[in-house]
Structure 1
Amino acid sequence: MSEYVRLETTGQLAVVTLDNPDRRNAQTPATWRDLAGIGRSLPGDVRVVLLRAEGTSFSAGLDRRLFPGGGGVPGEPALTDLAERDDADVDAAIAVFQEAFTWWRRPDLVSIAAVQGHAVGAGFQLALACDLRVCADDVQFAMLETQLGLVPDLAGTKPLVDLVGHARALEICLTGRRIGAAEAAALGIATSVVPRADLDTAALALANALTAAPRNAVVETKALLAGATTRSYDEQRAAEREAQTRRLKDLLGAGE
């Protein structure tokens, strides 16, 4: 990992920290390689992953040095470099970038983002990548890609629509406006809102609470809820019965 992303594991909890506060935790492909690598290498006994950030902002999004005229980041492709590749190469490059945003919702994990200050563009999408978001009362979400002539492409559009609905997601993305803590809570983007000074404590308390239930029950419940949006009422009832049958047999056989 780079000096700007840290991983600490304690038993069933892994804490991932964005640690480049001087640049408001702006992201580069190196950030995404680090995050993807963490997802691939997590110990099997980790049940909860807490994503947090040092400094005043969670993440200001893509490092502006990668934009035209920004001066570039040594060793990293600028947006102009990507544009010069053929379509298949661009698709492949973005797919690699997206790996940093896709593992947080693995069925065997529950992920929490502790979000303060600005969570903009790629920062907003990284927060959306997690299952839950504990937000400080100073949080400012914004999806600025469309304002810059781009689209949100880091796996953030699906969770955003799932949380707020199509019309509201469209308005948020096309205007690029800021969403404060109260609105984020009302829309369901923020799972909870706490004073800035209490953010780390509140997020850690939630992480600890999530490890209290038996792991198999948590995995089954997460899968059951994840599928609820695409199943009919009767299909969901059937899925509940199937999941409970597995749990009962597991409890009887394992003596949990």
Structure 2
Amino acid sequence: MASPEQDLAPLLDKDGVRLTVDDALATVTLTNAAKRNAQSPAMWRALAEAGRMLPGSVRVVVLRGEGKSFSAGLDRQMFTPEGIPGEPTFTGLARRDDAELDATIAGYQEGFTWWRRNDIVSIAAVQGHAIGAGFQLALACDLRVVADDVQFAMRETALGIVPDLTGTHPLVGLVGYARALEICVTGRFVQAEEAVASGLANLAVPTTELDGAVRDLAFALVAAPRDAVVETKALLRGALDRDYDAQRAAERAAQSRRLRDLAGLGE
């Protein structure tokens, strides 16, 4: 885990996404800094591919963006009549039947869904703008460490659409319904201090310290026994969907598995 990312041969490097792996740590980097890491369907497909390519040795995945912005959201070319070459335009999507349109959006979401898998812990390192799809990509991760210049914003509603890249569930879970509604409908910026206070971010640091803070957190996560982390993450992720007694039962079942495993009696 000690080698700098730039010294590692990428397992994937296309469509604005680079994946490198160093033992238990994987890094997914958005590499289109010239366009502030604007997102497109091709990028979403590459993000999904990165998730499928993760070796079994990986325990922590860091998501970062090159340049001054984590991601400024959708590529504005998607909003033009001609759209992005090779991709459906918004008008073209609207003309598809219900099943086809649903399947297309579900395909886009695949780049955002794997970050919460129980076998990994994902950390978004967020600096500068994280707008719309960029905000939702940061929300796809388990943890967020932000630079003091961070500016989160959900701008979809102002464009006449809705956040549909898996961001609404974690947003409500982190900040509650009322604040999530206000953030989405007004499209306002949420900066570092509020992000930490509201639960959107775990930690805010000066921009120059962002990489070091994320690296320290990643090492701390890897230090804990893997199976215990997997069980703990599964317990916490499921807690909101269970009532108190069901959560108690889930704790007992998880602990029973851990005790038997530590005693060499696991399956």
Contact 2:44 2:110 in 1 (8 A): yes
Unaligned runs of 5+ in 2: 1-12
Cα deviations by residue, 1:187-233 (Å, 9 ceiling, x for unpaired):
10001101000111111111111110111000000011111112222
Change (3 A) 1:28 1:192: same
Please identify runs of 4+ aligned residues in structure 1 that moved more than 3 A: none
Cα deviations by residue, 1:104-163 (Å, 9 ceiling, x for unpaired):
000111000000000000000000000000000000000000000000000110000110
Q: What is aligned with 1:177?
A: 188
Q: What is aligned with 1:45?
A: 57
Normalising by the residue count of structure 1, what TM-score does the alignment of the two structures yield? Answer: 0.96
SS in 2 for 1:76: coil
Tell me by how many angstroms 1:3 deviates.
Answer: 4.9
Q: What is aligned with 1:84?
A: 95
Tell me by how many angstroms 1:235 deviates.
Answer: 2.3
Between the two proteins, the alignment pairs up a number of residues equal to 254
Aligned residue among 88, 101, 108 for 2:112: 101
Q: CA–CA distance in 2 between the matches of 1:243 and 1:148?
A: 45
1:195 aligns with 2:244: no
Unaligned runs of 5+ in 1: none
1:7 alignment partner AA: L
Tell me by how many angstroms 1:237 deviates.
Answer: 2.0
Q: CA–CA distance in 2 between the matches of 1:39 and 1:199?
A: 23
Larger deviation, residues 165-174 vs 125-134: 165-174
Normalising by the residue count of structure 2, what TM-score does the alignment of the two structures yield? Answer: 0.92
1:10 aligns with 2:22: yes
Tell me by how many angstroms 1:80 deviates.
Answer: 2.0
Larger deviation, residues 231-240 vs 151-160: 231-240
Q: What is aligned with 2:5?
A: none
Q: CA–CA distance in 2 between the matches of 1:254 and 1:245?
A: 11
Larger deviation, residues 2-11 vs 146-155: 2-11
Q: What is aligned with 1:27?
A: 39
Cα deviations by residue, 1:66-112 (Å, 9 ceiling, x for unpaired):
1035x532222222221222222211110000000000000111000
Q: What is aligned with 2:84?
A: 73
1:155 aligns with 2:154: no
1:219 aligns with 2:220: no
Map of 1:122-133 to 2, 5 A cutoff?
A: 122-133=133-144
Larger deviation, residues 228-237 vs 175-184: 228-237
Contact 1:68 1:80 in 2 (8 A): no
**Structure 1 vs Structure 2: percent identity of aligned residues?**
68
Cα deviations by residue, 1:153-184 (Å, 9 ceiling, x for unpaired):
00110000110111111111111111000011
Q: CA–CA distance in 1 between the matches of 2:84 and 2:243?
A: 49
Contact 1:18 1:25 in 2 (8 A): yes
2:69 alignment partner AA: S
Q: CA–CA distance in 2 between the matches of 1:76 and 1:2?
A: 16
Q: CA–CA distance in 2 between the matches of 1:246 and 1:254?
A: 9
1:167 aligns with 2:207: no
